[in-house]
Structure 1
Amino acid sequence: MTALISPTAVDPLAPVVATLAQMGLRHGKESLQGLSTGLLTHTPGWRSAGEMLTPGGVREWLAAAATRWDAQPHAAAALAWKCYSYWLALPAVIGFTGSRRVPLMTPDHVLVRFSDRQPFLTLALRRPVTAVLATDPIVATETHGLLIVEDEDELLGVMRRSLVDAHLDPMLDEVRKQARLGRRTLWGSVASGVAYAISRGYVAPAPTVLSTAHRVLSALGADDLVDLSEREGGGLDIKRRTCCLAFTLPTPKVCSTCCIRP
């Protein structure tokens, strides 16, 4: 791994944004409603994701979730976590599958907005750093904001350290302190969210989509929390091994991936 290198006008996130845009065309604008357009923002009204890792930040966020879903605290926390972890992971996962460019979703690079209405949550990036392979043509342009790695295994390792070790793990610990939820329940939402992102956002032959999903989930330590199979017509059939508790809402919902579906 090398250090960051110096500036030019080339945008390392361009293929990631393009892949997300194609996903939006296929699945509708709601499939991107939790991400700022183009991933970046320079407008006021956002908070650093670092605030979300504090007791006060999590408390405010969970209170908004309880109002948004009119849910008991543990169910609101489970749904808030499911939402946050999906939108946080989506750019990194799509970046890896589509172009082998992974934006680092560490708290210092992520901005957050949330409310007690729909959409509950929106994420954006600031001063992004993108991990790329040493063979990526962008390396020759000396573009600012690159983290160069030698191979795909190292790229997945960078994804795990930035997404999981630096962001989701400490946030999960704080959520568990404030809500009566087990790690497995919460991590199951990460697994299903990653699988869902790959199923919707990665256009490739079904066996390739399936093997890539297992590879990414394994790198993130979540491959044992979902059952995956190829879907006729493209994408994946996903079945969770844990529940996000949406069935406990005043108007119960049973997700398409839920382990309690008949």
Structure 2
Amino acid sequence: MFGTSTQLPGLAPDLIVHDQTAWSSTAELTGVHLETLLDSASRRWNAQPHAAAALAWKAYTYWLTLPAVLGWASARRVPLLTARDTLMHFDDPRPLITLGVRPSIPVAVLPSDPLALSGLPQVRVVADEDALLAEFRRAILDEHLTPLLEAIHGRVRLGKRTLLGSLASGIAYGVLRSADVLPGSSAESIDRLLGTLGVRDLIELYSGRGGKLDVRRKTCCLAFTLPQPKVCPGCCIKTP
């Protein structure tokens, strides 16, 4: 999906981090590194604490979920992006944060996948499509994003619905921006993924320019509160 030479600001080259010297586990975002993330967002956007937290979450969840979203949509292979197996650093000034994964990260696959017969210790074979999506939810939401959401919610006055709306829109945009290389219906893929995470009601898809699907949010990421206000495409805030 990404190729071996693609440089995506926000993700480590090839996703896998072999030399972890300068990297930390993203589990530290619920503790010592939460302040690092929020301070970086505040400086980047000159934002008030609640807006900085909302925008940090928006950026973080987009890049975090992208490998699993596209892995599932393209090949039904899901890297299990728990906080323990996902790594981060703040050294690249282009993105807010750079994410990668440990070489040993488990990957969930279906019994029909050739990897199921590989004998590799990190390959986790699940029974069917429902079980694969259950692993997707467990790793990304239950064991990773829910603890981070609770930590952010405890730090700033910010509704959980606002944060989950950014998660929903990020997943939808990840699928739509890759629609030309993904098999099947983008709308169906988005519906299944968002239904799995319980956030289906936070966005809607509509026919945009040229008849292409686009995303309309039902919550706001608070970018309109910045010193230079921004209203994102698909925002629930109505503009002239």
TM-based fold match above 0.5: yes
Matches within 5 A, 1:98-177: 98-114=74-90, 117-126=93-102, 127-177=104-154
Secondary structure in 2 matching 1:20: coil
SS in 2 for 1:172: helix
What is the CA RMSD across the aligned residues, in angstroms?
2.1
- Per-residue deviation at 1:103? 0.2
- Residue 15 of structure 1 corresponds to none
Choose the corresponding residue for 2:185, options 185, 188, 208.
Answer: 208
Give the Å deviation of 1:131.
0.3
* 1:239 shift after superposition: 0.5
| Shift, 1:42, TM fit | 2.5
- Equivalenced residue count is 236
| 1:46 Cα deviation after fit | 1.1
AA partner of residue 105 (structure 1): L
Residue type of the alignment partner of 1:120:
L
Q: Are 1:45 and 1:113, in contact at CA under 8 Å, matched by a contact in 2? A: yes
Residue 254 of structure 1 aligns with which residue?
Answer: 231
2:170 alignment partner in structure 1: 193
Q: Give the equivalent residue in structure 2 for 1:20.
A: 2
> Which 10-residue stretch deviates more, 85-94 or 40-49?
40-49
The higher-RCO structure (CA 8 Å, 6+ apart) is 1
**How far apart are the structure 2 equivalents of 1:143 and 1:233?**
45
Task: Give, in whole Å, the separation in 2 of the partners of 1:109 and 1:153.
Answer: 23
Alignment of 1:36 with 2:9, yes or no, is no
Query: Unaligned regions of 5+ residues in structure 1, if any?
Result: 1-18
Question: Is 1:94 equivalent to 2:73 in the alignment?
Answer: no
Distance 2:3 2:191 in 1: 24
How far 1:245 moved relative to its partner?
0.6
- TM-score, normalised via structure 1 length: 0.84
Q: Do residues 58 (structure 1) and 58 (structure 2) align?
A: no
Would you say the 8 A contact 2:107–2:123 is kept in 1? Answer: yes
Asked whether 1:72 is paired with 2:72, we answer no
Hey, which bits of structure 1, 4+ residues long, moved more than 3 A? 202-207, 230-235
